[in-house]
Amino acid sequence: MGFLDFLNHLVNFFVPALAMALLVPALARLVWWRALKPVAWWRQVGAVAGVNVVVWLAGLLVLGRDGAMASYAALVLASALTVWWTGLRGRA
Protein backbone atom coordinates (compact mmCIF):
# COMPACT_ATOMS: atom_id res chain seq x y z
CA MET A 1 0.00 0.00 0.00
CA GLY A 2 1.40 3.34 -1.02
CA PHE A 3 1.30 6.57 0.94
CA LEU A 4 -1.69 7.97 -0.95
CA ASP A 5 -3.65 4.75 -0.41
CA PHE A 6 -2.87 4.89 3.29
CA LEU A 7 -3.90 8.53 3.46
CA ASN A 8 -7.15 7.72 1.63
CA HIS A 9 -7.95 4.92 4.10
CA LEU A 10 -7.11 7.15 7.07
CA VAL A 11 -9.30 10.01 5.87
CA ASN A 12 -12.20 7.68 5.07
CA PHE A 13 -11.87 6.06 8.50
CA PHE A 14 -12.36 9.39 10.29
CA VAL A 15 -15.08 10.85 8.03
CA PRO A 16 -18.04 9.53 10.11
CA ALA A 17 -16.58 10.90 13.35
CA LEU A 18 -15.88 14.31 11.85
CA ALA A 19 -19.20 14.50 9.99
CA MET A 20 -21.04 13.87 13.25
CA ALA A 21 -18.90 16.58 14.85
CA LEU A 22 -20.22 19.08 12.30
CA LEU A 23 -23.83 17.91 12.19
CA VAL A 24 -24.77 17.37 15.83
CA PRO A 25 -23.86 20.84 17.19
CA ALA A 26 -25.47 22.47 14.15
CA LEU A 27 -28.70 20.50 14.52
CA ALA A 28 -28.75 21.04 18.29
CA ARG A 29 -28.64 24.79 17.66
CA LEU A 30 -31.82 24.52 15.62
CA VAL A 31 -33.68 23.09 18.61
CA TRP A 32 -31.95 24.75 21.59
CA TRP A 33 -30.77 27.99 20.00
CA ARG A 34 -31.35 30.12 23.10
CA ALA A 35 -29.59 27.77 25.48
CA LEU A 36 -26.63 27.29 23.13
CA LYS A 37 -26.22 30.95 22.23
CA PRO A 38 -23.45 31.63 24.83
CA VAL A 39 -21.32 28.74 23.53
CA ALA A 40 -19.34 29.18 20.32
CA TRP A 41 -20.29 26.69 17.60
CA TRP A 42 -16.69 26.03 16.58
CA ARG A 43 -15.79 25.24 20.21
CA GLN A 44 -18.52 22.61 20.37
CA VAL A 45 -17.44 21.19 17.02
CA GLY A 46 -13.87 20.87 18.30
CA ALA A 47 -14.96 19.16 21.51
CA VAL A 48 -17.30 16.78 19.70
CA ALA A 49 -14.62 15.98 17.10
CA GLY A 50 -12.08 15.11 19.79
CA VAL A 51 -14.49 12.88 21.67
CA ASN A 52 -15.70 11.24 18.47
CA VAL A 53 -12.19 10.36 17.31
CA VAL A 54 -11.46 8.72 20.67
CA VAL A 55 -14.77 6.80 20.58
CA TRP A 56 -14.19 5.74 16.98
CA LEU A 57 -10.69 4.43 17.77
CA ALA A 58 -11.99 2.67 20.90
CA GLY A 59 -14.68 0.99 18.80
CA LEU A 60 -12.03 -0.25 16.39
CA LEU A 61 -9.85 -1.58 19.20
CA VAL A 62 -12.65 -3.19 21.22
CA LEU A 63 -14.67 -4.66 18.37
CA GLY A 64 -11.74 -5.45 16.13
CA ARG A 65 -13.19 -4.02 12.94
CA ASP A 66 -14.28 -0.77 11.39
CA GLY A 67 -17.91 0.15 10.83
CA ALA A 68 -19.62 -1.93 13.49
CA MET A 69 -23.11 -0.76 14.39
CA ALA A 70 -22.12 -0.56 18.05
CA SER A 71 -19.42 1.93 17.09
CA TYR A 72 -21.94 4.07 15.24
CA ALA A 73 -24.31 3.96 18.21
CA ALA A 74 -21.49 4.96 20.56
CA LEU A 75 -20.59 7.78 18.16
CA VAL A 76 -24.13 9.18 18.23
CA LEU A 77 -24.33 8.90 22.02
CA ALA A 78 -20.90 10.50 22.52
CA SER A 79 -21.80 13.37 20.18
CA ALA A 80 -25.05 14.08 21.98
CA LEU A 81 -23.47 13.88 25.42
CA THR A 82 -20.64 16.19 24.41
CA VAL A 83 -23.07 18.81 23.09
CA TRP A 84 -25.02 18.51 26.31
CA TRP A 85 -21.87 18.77 28.43
CA THR A 86 -20.46 21.79 26.59
CA GLY A 87 -23.65 23.78 26.20
CA LEU A 88 -26.80 22.51 27.83
CA ARG A 89 -25.60 21.22 31.20
CA GLY A 90 -26.97 23.38 33.96
CA ARG A 91 -29.19 25.43 31.61
CA ALA A 92 -31.94 22.94 30.86
- pLDDT, residue 77, reads 96
Q: What is the 3-state secondary structure (H, E, C) of 28-77?
A: HHHHCCCCCCCCCHHHHHHHHHHHHHHHHHHHHHHHCCCCCHHHHHHHHH
**pLDDT tens for each residue of 32-87:** 888 888 889 999 999 999 999 999 999 999 998 887 899 999 999 999 999 999 98
Domain positions in the chain are 14-88
- In 10 A of CB 69, how many CB atoms? 9
Identify which has the larger pLDDT, 91 or 22: 22
- pLDDT, residue 91, reads 63
Whether 90 shows a pLDDT value over 70: the answer reads no
- pLDDT, residue 65, reads 86
Q: Is the model's pTM score more than 0.85?
A: yes
Task: Provide mean pLDDT across the span 10-17.
Answer: 93
- pLDDT, residue 92, reads 52
**Distance between alpha carbon 33 and the CA centroid of its chain, in Å?**
19
Q: Kindly state the greatest CA–CA separation across the chain.
A: 50
